[in-house]
């Protein structure tokens, strides 16, 4: 390999990393903005985060989606008001019911990205959002049930049932975005 081709290769790699870094920043900003679009509910608010998380997972793929969601969570941990209602991690510690859903967002993006990877199509996208949503609810409901003294029925009635219709709409929107844009290559 000549020096000029080595330099070109390094330049491409550096450019790709810069593009990925911008994608992570933009994706985490989209999730933070989606967190502010909410319908207040108790104990967990309904937000547009599910849409943003699933769309990012399918558009970015599992690896870049993971880094995007990790950046989003990190922003909240260091005190930025990125969670629902402008909350940060300190606020969540005072009212910890939603912590499982935030962890579930990371899992949902990675799972949706992994399932969507490889081929396009509405069926693949639908499977991706279903799998991602299941991952989200396993962690979210698991934590919520723990916070409610192990009462799984109460966690399901408060943390799943009221969200099903809205999540179906957000899933359909995420599928539409994925089908119109395809997988974004970084």
Q: Does residue 117 lie within any of the structural domains? A: yes
Query: How many structural domains is the chain composed of?
Result: 1
- Residue 85 — pLDDT band, cuts 50, 70, 90? confident
pLDDT, one tens digit per residue, over 14-37 is: 788 999 999 999 999 999 999 999
Pick the closest to residue 70 from 37, 41, 27, 40 (CA basis). Answer: 27
CATH of the domain at 29: 1.10.1760.20
Residue 186 maps to a domain: no
Q: Which domain holds residue 167?
A: 3-181
For the chain, the average pLDDT equals: 91
Cis peptide upstream of residue 43 (ω within 30 degrees of 0)? yes
**Where is average pLDDT lowest: 7-11, 63-67, 97-101, 144-148?**
7-11
Query: Is the Cα dihedral 126, 129, 130, 132 positive or negative?
Result: positive
């Amino acid at each position: 390999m000549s020096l000029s081709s080595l330099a070109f290769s390094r330049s491409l790699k550096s450019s790709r990393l810069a593009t990925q870094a911008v994608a992570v920043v933009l994706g985490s900003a989209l999730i933070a903005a989606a967190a502010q679009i909410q319908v207040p509910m108790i104990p967990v608010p309904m937000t547009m985060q599910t849409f943003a998380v699933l769309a990012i997972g399918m558009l970015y793929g599992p690896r870049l989606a993971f880094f995007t969601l990790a950046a989003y969570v990190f922003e909240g941990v260091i005190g930025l008001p990125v969670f629902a209602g402008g909350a940060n991690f300190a606020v969540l510690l005072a009212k910890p019911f939603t912590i499982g859903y935030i962890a579930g967002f990371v899992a949902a993006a990675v799972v949706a990205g992994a399932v969507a990877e490889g081929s396009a199509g509405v069926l693949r996208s639908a499977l991706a959002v279903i799998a991602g949503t299941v991952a989200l609810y396993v962690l979210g409901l698991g934590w919520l049930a723990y916070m409610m003294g192990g009462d799984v029925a109460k966690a399901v009635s408060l943390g799943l049932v009221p969200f099903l219709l809205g999540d179906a709409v957000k899933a359909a929107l995420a599928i539409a975005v994925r089908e119109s844009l395809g997988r974004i290559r970084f």
